[in-house]
Structure 1
Amino acid sequence: MSTNAVFQTISPINNQVWLERPYANKRQVVATLTNAIKAQQLWCKLALSERVAYCQKAMNYCLSQQQAIGRDICWQMGRPLLQAEREVSVMVERANYMLEVAESALAPAQLPYRPGFNNKLVREPLGLVMVIAPWNYPLLTAINSIIPALVAGNGVILKHSSQTPRCAEWLAEAFKQAQLPEGVFQYLHLDHQTTGELLTAKEINHVVLTGSVAVGKQVEKQLAGHFKTISLELGGKDAAYIRPDADLKSSVASVVDGAFFNSGQSCCGIERLYIHQEVYDQCLPMIIDAVKQYQLGHPENQHTTLGPMVRARAASQVLTQIQQAIEQGAEARLDYRLFVDEKVNNPPLKINTVDSAYLAPQILTGVNHQMAVMTEETFGPVLPVMKVDSDLQAVELINDSAYGLTAAIYGKDSEITRNMASQLAVGTVFLNRCDYLDPALAWTGIKASGKGYCLSNWGYETVTRPKSYHFKGQP
């Protein structure tokens, strides 16, 4: 690979080059690994309280740069500016929780006393952790693993999406400002080939990937036989179900936000909705009216609540899925021209065209599980809605999926909903909310949504290994 090979980040806002960066060459990769090994050997010997303090300072720096970081996120992946800025503060809140629970999560296990023995079970760092982060929540997805990995005593190498390279640079600057020892946290801008080579490097002990199922399969295949640990957060087709006893107003508001926030490009965004037949006719007009309130536009416009998708190609793929569903009998309930507002967007935006990242939100009815829009990941501002006649049918349809990240039930907190929740084949079940990560709970998926977990006390288990001390004859 040439030392001057570069990549470009095309902003979905105007479809123009926003920045260019050189890819790291093999010499730089080797130097990064060498520095990381040396730094981690000293870093893991620091007191836990010292490691926590470094990370806290880094998060405080990010908070001080919230507006600048938010603007970079906005221009790199298209999220409305105020929402992009909010990601910084949510990242800090999440990191703070993981820092607060670090001592209890990493404490030695409490073992029963045995006369004549001094046995203990402790958690030790794995060594070097490679984090591969995506563009859709470029700070939140990365920090889920970076903070516990560092606090546990590991070194971290971050490979961020080429769509959001500035987020890796901001995190590196934050740790630099916190005076983190050099080499403990590093990032590399890598092409696909070099990423694969780094994955299998003997110095890397653990790999964290948030990405597509296809990439997850490729990573698993590359790591076969290398005996590394791995955490994968992959695709999703998350469902919501509104029961007859649900508070319809709050349920609709929650589902619509969960489906369309971030232009539908959320890991656990709602991609299919089931409504009980008793309340279907009441809910559907409420949903349509709620979606009509969105304002599609330039992300820096203060009135914009829905920005472009990450790139024109992604918008085109979602539009194709919508058109295929319509050809199979689905009905589109929104006219995209509702979202062409020349007064707000001057000059007018190109919406729902093959060369534009701006895609109008859509509601589809008359859908079924023979349609890709109900079974394949969409990752866009589309909500297919299906009527069901019972809780049992809702559970069966929710589970009729290759994915298993989250599912949401809307109704009373009762024995019925708890029984339904126990039957859902997902990593997280929500009741009366959706599309949210509570850092006190483990974030995990099953089936094609991946394996492993992060966040909560348990999140520290994935970046450490147990070590047993069986000492006989010790006081």
Structure 2
Amino acid sequence: MNSQVKHSPIKTVNPFTNEIVKEFDVMKPAQIASIIDKADEAFKSWKNTPFSERAKIIHKVATIMRERKEALGALATLEMGKLLAESIYEVELSADIFDYYAEHAEKFLADHPLDVKHGDAFLSYEPIGVLLSVQPWNFPYYQITRSAASNLMAGNTMVLKHASNIPQCAQIMEDIFKDAGLPNGVYTNLFVPGKDVEAIVSNPKIKAVTLTGSKPAGASITAAAGANVKKATLELGGSDPFVVLEDADVSEAVEVSVAGRMWNAGQVCVSPKRVIVPAKMYDEFLAKTKEAFSKLVVGNPMDATTNVAPLCTEKAAEDVVSQIQKAAEQGATIALGGKRVKRTGAFVEPTLITDITPKMDAYFEEIFGPVFMLYQYKDVDEAIEIANATEFGLGGTVFGKDTKKAVEVARRIDTGMVYINHVTGIAPELPFGGTKESGFGREQSIAGIFEFVNAKLIRTTTPDKAY
């Protein structure tokens, strides 16, 4: 990083008003190096801190978050625009994840005995050092929590490069960790632009990287990590299928899919972006979807009557409209919406697109906004073909009354997670992650805590039986 380059400040811009609220100076290379040095020094003691002591602190983080959930929720809504109720739910979910790992980490990482012919052998799970966490804006607290809860309980330390449009959410989480009693250096926020991340990965005291973001960002980070022989985990978005089976209740499927797609104004990696229904129920499904859209209220995310919020930035809104326009130019039908809302703020009309074919970009890409794409199929084989047509493989849904059949269909979808009769969800005890170009690695559940520990083999035997 060139210390002579002057960076634009990192800003909070309220997407409801497009007004600048607060600015933060970009950290200089010397500051960043000092923070990483402190994280490395803190690791030497944190890794030896008993699980019980770590758990007290992490439980306290959860308690503080619940106590401050209204203020934390309002801050997330201010910075990235989601509905206040969604923001508060996110805070509560994050607290649950912190509690989950505080309660279970010691059991998860207990020595694991191995069955050997002579003597004894076991795996000892040990932390590896300073982790770099690179996270996006769409879930300001949850994205931090997914990587921090497990890894701090495992004994690693962490530096966070959060999205540049939510600096106050990034800072307040560091403050909460300090208020909970986390030792200095164990978790620290970095105010840096995305283009400086590769240089941070190269710091020899950074031992691994976890990133949630775009495919280009993931490719860049894994290249830097690979060049320095460091492990990485990635979650790079999705274009989740929502497959409706012939025995499904149409009204219920419409309600669930529309609500799921409009969650967080469509800015969710695992929202049902492609709804795939049998041809014989297509007309009914389309009519009921239009009816559901007529009840959507776009407006102030702080207002309880609003159910579609602005997008996170003006640039995000412009990009989504550009994708919709390209779909129309390539022959898709824009059945509803498709334009900017005529008001201040980063708003896009809830949009319904039909008649999408493999000749169109929209058939394959992810649209990160309130855009509902409806497909029809003649048989289950065609439904699976549509579901698996994209490069993504994060989540998905199969909707139908016959659970056994729904599970059979779920097994054929190339994705990391499939939910039956529910949009792809989130729970502390359930692993989260994808396949194909949606990334690799898992967060949450028991799986999440093993990503960045060293599974060290320890073998004991008598000299005459040694191998």
TM-score normalised per structure 1? 0.93
Separation in 2, partners of 1:443, 1:435? 10
* Equivalence for 1:137: 139
**Which of the residues 6, 12, 16 maps onto 2:15?**
12
* Equivalence for 2:153: 151
- Mapping for residues 406-421 of structure 1, pairs under 5 Å: 406-421=395-410
* Equivalence for 1:343: none
User: Which whole-Å deviations, capped at 9, do the CAs of 1:142-175 have from their partners, x for residues lacking one?
Assistant: 1111011100000111111111111221111111
Q: Secondary structure at 1:403's aligned position in 2? A: coil
Structure 2 residue identity aligned to 1:456: S
State whether structure 2 residue 175 is matched by structure 1 residue 173: yes
* Equivalence for 1:430: 419
* Equivalence for 1:344: none
**Which of the residues 381, 386, 395 maps onto 2:384?**
395
- Mapping for residues 218-257 of structure 1, pairs under 5 Å: 218-257=220-259
CA contact (8 A) 2:158 2:186 kept: yes
CA contact (8 A) 2:123 2:457 kept: yes
% identical equivalent positions = 29
Structure 1 residue identity aligned to 2:36: L
* Equivalence for 1:302: 304
Structure 2 residue identity aligned to 1:187: N
CA contact (8 A) 1:3 1:25 kept: no
How big is the shift at 1:104?
2.4
**Which of the residues 346, 349, 355 maps onto 1:360?**
349
Q: Secondary structure at 2:262's aligned position in 1? A: helix
**Which of the residues 49, 52, 55 maps onto 2:52?**
49
* Equivalence for 1:345: none
Q: Secondary structure at 1:256's aligned position in 2? A: helix
Structure 2 vs 1, CA of residues 336 and 191 (structure 1 numbering), >3 Å: closer, same or farther?
closer
* Equivalence for 2:74: 71
How big is the shift at 1:459?
0.8
**Which of the residues 92, 97, 118 maps onto 1:94?**
97
How big is the shift at 1:330?
2.2
* Equivalence for 2:371: 382
**Which of the residues 211, 214, 237 maps onto 1:212?**
214
Structure 2 residue identity aligned to 1:428: M
Separation in 1, partners of 2:52, 2:116? 28
User: Which whole-Å deviations, capped at 9, do the CAs of 1:153-208 have from their partners, x for residues lacking one?
Assistant: 00111111111111221111111111111111111111234322111110011100
User: Which whole-Å deviations, capped at 9, do the CAs of 1:183-237 have from their partners, x for residues lacking one?
Assistant: 1111111123432211111001110000000111111222222111100000211
State whether structure 2 residue 52 is matched by structure 1 residue 36: no
Separation in 2, partners of 1:82, 1:159? 26
Gaps of 5+ in 1: 341-347, 351-355
Gaps of 5+ in 2: none
CA contact (8 A) 2:325 2:338 kept: no
Separation in 1, partners of 2:132, 2:177? 17
How big is the shift at 1:414?
3.7
User: Which whole-Å deviations, capped at 9, do the CAs of 1:321-340 have from their partners, x for residues lacking one?
Assistant: 21222223322222579x97
**Which of the residues 64, 81, 86 maps onto 2:84?**
81
CA contact (8 A) 1:264 1:380 kept: yes
CA contact (8 A) 1:105 1:458 kept: no
* Equivalence for 1:353: none
Separation in 2, partners of 1:63, 1:467? 37
CA contact (8 A) 1:242 1:411 kept: yes
Separation in 1, partners of 2:416, 2:244? 19
Across the aligned residues of Structure 1 and Structure 2, the Cα RMSD in angstroms comes to 1.9
**Which of the residues 343, 347, 351 maps onto 1:349?**
343
Runs of 4+ with >4 A deviation: 2-5
* Equivalence for 1:316: 318
Higher mean Cα deviation, 208-217 or 105-114?
105-114
CA contact (8 A) 1:79 1:307 kept: yes
CA contact (8 A) 2:10 2:191 kept: no
CA contact (8 A) 2:403 2:420 kept: no
Separation in 1, partners of 2:287, 2:426? 29
Structure 2 residue identity aligned to 1:184: V
Separation in 2, partners of 1:335, 1:118? 66
Structure 2 residue identity aligned to 1:173: D
How big is the shift at 1:449?
0.3
State whether structure 2 residue 328 is matched by structure 1 residue 326: yes
CA contact (8 A) 1:330 1:365 kept: yes
User: Which whole-Å deviations, capped at 9, do the CAs of 1:350-376 have from their partners, x for residues lacking one?
Assistant: 4xxxxx511110111222222222211
CA contact (8 A) 1:148 1:463 kept: no
CA contact (8 A) 2:241 2:272 kept: yes
Separation in 2, partners of 1:393, 1:100? 45
Separation in 2, partners of 1:262, 1:328? 28
Q: Secondary structure at 2:450's aligned position in 1? A: helix
How big is the shift at 1:435?
3.1
Q: Secondary structure at 1:296's aligned position in 2? A: coil
Structure 1 residue identity aligned to 2:358: H
Q: Secondary structure at 2:145's aligned position in 1? A: helix
Separation in 2, partners of 1:292, 1:236? 27
**Which of the residues 44, 57, 61 maps onto 1:58?**
61
Structure 2 residue identity aligned to 1:32: I
Structure 2 vs 1, CA of residues 221 and 410 (structure 1 numbering), >3 Å: closer, same or farther?
same
**Which of the residues 445, 455, 459 maps onto 1:466?**
455
CA contact (8 A) 1:123 1:464 kept: yes
CA contact (8 A) 2:137 2:163 kept: yes
Separation in 1, partners of 2:191, 2:227? 26
Separation in 2, partners of 1:132, 1:426? 23
Separation in 2, partners of 1:335, 1:469? 62
Separation in 1, partners of 2:326, 2:461? 69
Separation in 2, partners of 1:50, 1:152? 12
Separation in 1, partners of 2:394, 2:23? 34
**Which of the residues 431, 439, 444 maps onto 1:450?**
439
CA contact (8 A) 2:198 2:220 kept: no
